Amino acid sequence: MKILFALFALLAVTVASAQTREVQEKRLAEYLPYAGEPVDRFQFWDLIRYELVGEYKVIVWPRLNEAYLITVDSPCNDLEWAHSIGLTSSVHQVNRRFDFVVAGQDKCRINEIRPIDYKKYLADRKESKDSGKN
């Protein structure tokens, strides 16, 4: 009975993980057209919110209308399952060479930072919704 329960739990986690991965890939595809060229750093005072968009990719908002797509080096096992994340910084700057995404017990080195034109993303979504009403 315990083996059957363990197999059922493993199956449920596998299905949930696959669905989550699908959603992450869809969200990443929505943001990628708005991602600029890689940059070395960005100003950072506070993490307003974040969204996991891949196994090693996360979008962070240091301000309401400012977002960055961060890719971390593997392995970063806790990133997918973390309930919250943090960013290291020096003198209010997150630097791809020196800083990390902190998720659970992992400190994941930042490999790439790409600014997202979040205002354009929001404007295009609003325009798309408005044109769908007509």
Q: Give the pLDDT score at 101.
A: 98
**Cα(94)–Cα(86) distance, rounded to whole angstroms?**
11
pTM (two decimals): 0.83
2 SS3 class:
helix
Q: Does residue 120 form part of some domain?
A: yes
Q: Does residue 68 form part of some domain?
A: yes
Q: Using alpha carbons, select from 117, 87, 122 the residue that is nearest to residue 103.
A: 87
23 SS3 class:
helix
Q: Give the pLDDT score at 16.
A: 37
Query: Total domain count for the chain?
Result: 1
- Where the chain has pLDDT below 70, the residues are 1-19, 133-134
Residue 34: both structure tokens together: 């708005």
> Dihedrals φ, ψ of 23, to 5°?
-65, -40
Q: Does residue 71 form part of some domain?
A: yes
Q: Does residue 133 form part of some domain?
A: no
Q: Are 106 and 74 in contact (CB under 8 A)?
A: no
Q: Give the pLDDT score at 24.
A: 93
What is the domain range of residue 94? 2-128
- Quote the DSSP letter at residue 50: E
